[in-house]
Amino acid sequence: MTPPKKISLTRYLVEQQRIDGLIPGQLRLLLEVVARACKSISHAVNKGALGNVLGSANSENVQGEIQKKLDIIANEVLIEANEWGGHLAGMASEEMDAIYVVPNRYPKGEYLLLFDPLDGSSNIDVNVSIGTIFSVLHMPEDDRGVDEGDFLQPGNRQVAAGYCVYGPQTTLVLTVGDGVAMFTLDREQGSFILTQENVRIPADTQEFAINMSNMRHWAPPVRRYIDECLQGQEGPRGKDFNMRWIASMVADVHRILTRGGVFMYPWDRREPNKPGKLRLMYEANPMAWLIEQAGGAATNGKQRIMDIQPTKLHERVSVILGSKNEVERVTSYHSEL
Ligand code: P6P
């Protein structure tokens, strides 16, 4: 039997552009550049202690979080790979306070790129999967310069979203609005090869992902949902549940895209004035689109994440996403308040 045809990311994107007319050439170029940057980040991550890339950078990011050396390396790789290509007007990163406007010495494009360059970085030093999350928006139609306000678009305006998980395999997961495709890095060829398309999440699950150590801080609807799961088949759910928590959103979401489940990082009373821990623009929105494109759901407990109108670049949000029936159940418990 002839081996299956290897379809590279480039060929997949050319076909999405040419055959389906889904993505303009400039967006295809942007996604190829982001994929190449993820390959470089994967190479740096895989070096580990041999590459002197582990440990803290002894600096803080805008979130007040201690930066790891690889956080800064990944951020620099993405900026340097994307600033000169002519497809972008600006970039925003979890690791940078202000937006990055493409310098005048380079041509400007029509897209905005937002990213968490290395999500889950607390896992770097213990060799657990981490990843890059990215979201692409269109620059608003006007001739004035780029400013932060141009980035403050709801997630339903994204034109592309994805992540690259650096785990046992390096896998790029992408949507341009026509379902979800997964590409595994072939290190011998140095290219991302299509390994799954039309990814679908089962509507039901028996697996939840949440940091249980925060239980005493949760709001009642979240507490009720988890309590019911923990009661197993003797309880109101009538089935047993398993739990996973990798403390790396990319790895937890990848598991959910692969076999279903529900992921929750809800508001809790440790920081009552913050809606949640995770960031709306470059974590929740791209992940929410991927999950919805795979048949799942993503809310903040009250509304669809992708309908939230952002008011600031590093806005945080409560996140409940994954198997549709479970997300709808948790959301319904919130509405019963
Ligand atoms: P905790 C990683 O720092 C992150 O932003 C997400 O990737 C992950 O889901 C979450 O925070 C883990 O948070 O409080 O369990 O360490």
Q: How confident is the model at residue 149 (pLDDT cuts 50, 70, 90)?
A: very high
pLDDT at 76: 96
Both structure tokens of 78: 């993405």
**Cβ 161 vs Cβ 289: under 8 Å:** yes
pLDDT at 162: 98
- Is 148 flagged in the annotation as binding? no
pTM exceeds 0.90, yes or no: yes
pLDDT at 4: 66
Q: How confident is the model at residue 151 (pLDDT cuts 50, 70, 90)?
A: very high
**Cβ 140 vs Cβ 292: under 8 Å:** no
- pLDDT tens-digit series, residues 65-80: 778 888 999 999 999 9
- Is 197 flagged in the annotation as binding? no
**Cβ 65 vs Cβ 76: under 8 Å:** no
- In this structure, which amino acid lies at residue 257? L
How many A from CA of 120 to the centre of ligand 1?
Answer: 6
pLDDT at 121: 84
- Residue 184 CA to residue 193 CA, distance in Å, equals 5
Walk me through the domains of the chain, giving residue ranges and CATH numbers: 9-196 (3.30.540.10), 207-335 (3.40.190.80)
Residue keyed to tokens 């739990």: 243
- Is 283 flagged in the annotation as binding? yes
- pLDDT tens-digit series, residues 196-227: 999 999 999 999 999 999 999 999 999 999 99
**Cβ 248 vs Cβ 130: under 8 Å:** yes
Nearest atom of ligand 1 to the alpha carbon of 211: 15
Give the percent of the chain with pLDDT over 90.
85
Determine the residue of 122, 123, 164 to mutate for testing ligand 1's pocket, defined as the one with the most ligand atoms within 8 A of the Cβ atom.
122
Question: With 90 as the cut, is the pLDDT of residue 290 above it?
Answer: yes
- In this structure, which amino acid lies at residue 117? P
Q: Whose CA is nearest to atom 1 of ligand 1?
A: 247
Determine the residue of 118, 213, 249, 287 to mutate for testing ligand 1's pocket, defined as the one with the most ligand atoms within 8 A of the Cβ atom.
249
pLDDT at 291: 98
